[in-house]
Structure 1
Amino acid sequence: MLRKPFFIKLLHWEYWSFNTVYGPIIPIWLVLCARARSFFFFSASNPTIMNGGFLMESKKQIYDLLPEGFYPRTLFFALPAKGECVVNAVRTAGLKYPLIAKPDVGGRGRGVRKVNNEEELVGYSQESALDFLVQEYVPFANEVGIFYVRMPGESKGRITGIVSKEFLAVTGDGVHSMRELVMQEKRFILQLPALEIMFGSRLNEVLQAGEKRELVPYGNHARGAKFLDHSHLADDALLNAMDELCRQIEGFHYGRLDIRFESWDLMKQGKSYSVIELNGAGAEPTHMYDPKHSLFFAWKEIIRHWYILFRISRRNHKKGIPYMSFSEGRRMFRENSEFEKKIARLYV
């Protein structure tokens, strides 16, 4: 019974809905709004990112802010996008398979797909109902989310949290099918409907003993990745590397960088890593989702980061960066609500 999805979600707060987790602490958010005299003060946190990176921001526009060489080579395609045109653009750019395709606006890993050849890329182009990106697949085995903040006018920032990610993968024993292996791990059981769509009958394959198969190559909590709090690894060398990068991102002061990297030592030297996502004001301190942490720890981390966001936004506002108007904010939330309904229907 405890392996049924309902009970798995009920007994592990990390799977609770946004409203359930955030609802009890909303009064604190409202206090910050009152102090800022704006419900949408967060828009001033990262003035070069649409809406401060809180909602509805374009991934392509964010990549354009990053210095070349620090993120995967990326192509943008607006709808309607013919499959043959997408394939030709990829050929011309010299991108090699496998590639990652994903919506330009999105979240929770929805619509992200690894495409292994031209046929799969054409299929993604035909199925996509949103403007999308095609980018190089970063082959580094490790993925981490580094939460970085820097007060406006200061050259030195801080790392306020680090989350390491274990992808959804199974290891064969020569006896059980991949489906049966998935059913042995509660975290994976929740992903079974999506895995059935992705793999179909291939889930019945029996892997050889010791053979590891990565089923979801994305470090996303909603796609089955396990998040581990490795904030203790935030030393001076890592901060120096992040400072070196983030000072080059105009107007970026608050958010989480999701990074694929070869090794900690090389990343601390500013080598062999790639920023696959940059999340702004709407970024969560995802290290809180480590299964060892309680809901009370999560509330503490959320509130701590809200206060940092408030301080950064207020300082930028005092320097002349306007807050989003009430009508603009309402429109942003309305558009996001409509978008969430649409993307939930369209993508696994």
Structure 2
Amino acid sequence: MTAPLMTAPEKSDTERPIAAPHANMPALDESAQKLSFFEFWPQWLFYTPVILWWLWLSLRYGGPALPTAANPGFPNGGFVGESKAQVFSRFGVKAKAALAPFICFCADHQAKDQSLSVMAEARGSGLDYPLVAKPDMGCRGAGVQVVRNDRDLDRYIASFPDGARIVLQKLVDQPGEVGLFYVRSPSQKQGRLFSMTLKYFPTIIGNGRDHLERLIMDDPRAGQLPHLYLKRNATRLDEIIPKGEPVRLAFAGSHSKGAIFRDGRPYITEALTQAIDALARDIDGFYIGRFDVRFSDFKALQEGRDFTIIEVNGAGGEATHIWDSRMTLKKAYGDLFEQFSMLFAIGRDNRRRGAPPINLLEFYRAWRHEARLVRGYPPTD
């Protein structure tokens, strides 16, 4: 059944404070509970049943590392330790046209004012400040920041180990963001959208009396997550926010960094599915994973047009609609188990087609290497 097209409100004037923090998106259900009871459980606790399901799938399909064969075009299938730049290099002409432009470089602590040479390369690729800076390897929004000038960029580079790879990407000014989880069996001509996540960026509205810290602590949701918002906004906590002025508390569209997620599956349309499928089939060796895209008008997105890809997560991507605060724990696990079942089945099919998974030692080394890098990344905006 085709989902109804949602009509987005008119775009607000970017020269003044926006009146609707989530313009161009379906209205955020403010009546819903602010957090589910499991939404911010420790990872080891929440994912224990998933690991047990993984072990069962390993026996059923014949190999614990089969997910690394799910996307033969991506390093390790895009499950762990993959380079964003290498993933983007698999894009064909059509997919590349939908991708936010980027460059990738290595931090060089011996170079003086490295930002000058990096920005010369960036401008040669049509990029200029402000830009999104992020590690070439990492997940869950780790280390993502906006850099607005050479000073910001030099400070960002200095926060990484010497030789670390960094991506600079165009700061897409489209206000809406969704995560679209795509899946296609190697034997199928057309794939489908298994999941759609609507992402809302938490916003506090000033009242002209209280400073930002008080506004955060008084907010029904943000006040339950001070560890996510206070440190990130430390330089503004004592600021009195003018009445009606919005303050966005998080930049990255990552749930673990504070973005609000809603289940958008009812809004999936055939036109959107066909548009994403055409792009996915233009990415060499890609069968399953999540597109993170930005857009200006939700109706246009549903019609499969006017959106920009900012990230593609391979086998390690998650159907993030499970982090909707209205989701039950049973349903969240059911959807995750279905996702991993598809992942193993596609890995098995690709193995039969000559794409072997990595071995367990390689898997462990890739995971350990990425974990070590992520621990040293700068904080996320």
Tell me if both proteins adopt one fold, taking TM over 0.5 as the criterion.
yes
Structure 1 vs Structure 2 CA RMSD: 2.2
Q: CA deviation at 1:205?
A: 1.8
Q: Which AA in structure 1 matches 2:81?
A: M
Cα 1:194–1:86 shift into 2, 3 Å: farther
How much does 1:68 deviate? 2.0
Task: State yes or no: 1:80 paired with 2:108.
Answer: yes
The one-letter code sitting in structure 2 at the alignment partner of 1:331 is R
Q: One-letter code of the match for 1:136?
A: K
Find the counterpart in structure 2 of residue 177 from structure 1: 211
Which structure: greater helix fraction? 1
The size of the alignment, in residue pairs, is 339
Superposition pairs of residues 1-348 of structure 1, within 5 angstroms? 12-66=37-91, 67-80=95-108, 82-129=114-161, 130-185=164-219, 187-189=221-223, 192-193=226-227, 195-343=229-377, 346-348=378-380
Conserved in 1, the CA contact under 8 Å of 2:200 and 2:261?
yes
- Identity of aligned pairs, percent? 33
Q: Does the Cα contact within 8 Å between 1:149 and 1:158 map onto a contact in 2? A: yes
Q: Residue 29 of structure 1: CA displacement? A: 1.3
Partners of 1:108 and 1:185 lie apart in 2 by: 24
Checking the alignment, whether the CA contact within 8 Å between 2:269 and 2:302 is kept in structure 1 is: no
Please identify, of 219-228 and 27-36, the stretch whose mean Cα deviation from structure 2 is larger: 27-36
Is 2:181–2:319's contact at 8 Å kept on the other side of the alignment? yes
Taking a change above 3 Å as real, the CA distance of residues 112 and 36 of structure 1, as seen in their structure-2 partners, is same
1:98-156 deviation line (CA, Å, top 9, x unaligned): 21001111122121101122322222122233321111100011000011100103221
**5+ residue gaps, structure 2:** 1-33
Q: Is the 8 A contact 1:241 1:268 kept in 2?
A: no
Residues 126 and 27 (structure 1), Cα distance of their counterparts in 2 relative to 1, 3 Å cut: closer
Output the CA distance in 1 between the equivalents of 2:143 and 2:373. Answer: 13
Matching residue's letter, 1:75: I
Structure 1 residue 271 displacement after superposition: 2.7
Q: Secondary structure at 2:138's aligned position in 1?
A: coil
Matched residue SS, 1:162: strand
Structure 1: distance between partners of 2:235 and 2:290: 37
Alpha-carbon separation, structure 2, partners of 1:222 and 1:97: 27
CA distance in structure 2 between the partners assigned to 1:28 and 1:186 by the alignment: 35
CA-to-aligned-CA distance 1:54-108 (integer Å, 9 cap, x gap)? 1111111112222322111101111216232223323333323221001111122
**TM-score, scaled to structure 1:** 0.90
What one-letter code is carried by the residue in structure 1 that aligns with 2:90? L
Give the whole-Å Cα distance in 2 for the aligned partners of 1:140 and 1:109: 18
- The verdict on how the C-alpha distance between 1:162 and 1:60 changes in structure 2, with shifts beyond 3 A counting, is same
Q: Which of 41-50 and 328-337 deviates more?
A: 328-337
Give TM-score scaled by structure 2 length. 0.83
Question: After TM superposition, what 4+ stretches of structure 1 lie above 6 angstroms from structure 2?
Answer: none
Question: How far is 1:318 from its partner?
Answer: 1.2
| Matched residue type, 1:347 | P
Q: Is the 8 A contact 1:10 1:16 kept in 2?
A: no
Give yes or no for contact 2:208–2:243 (8 Å, CA) kept in 1. Answer: yes
Separation (CA, whole Å) in 1 of partners of 2:354 and 2:337: 26
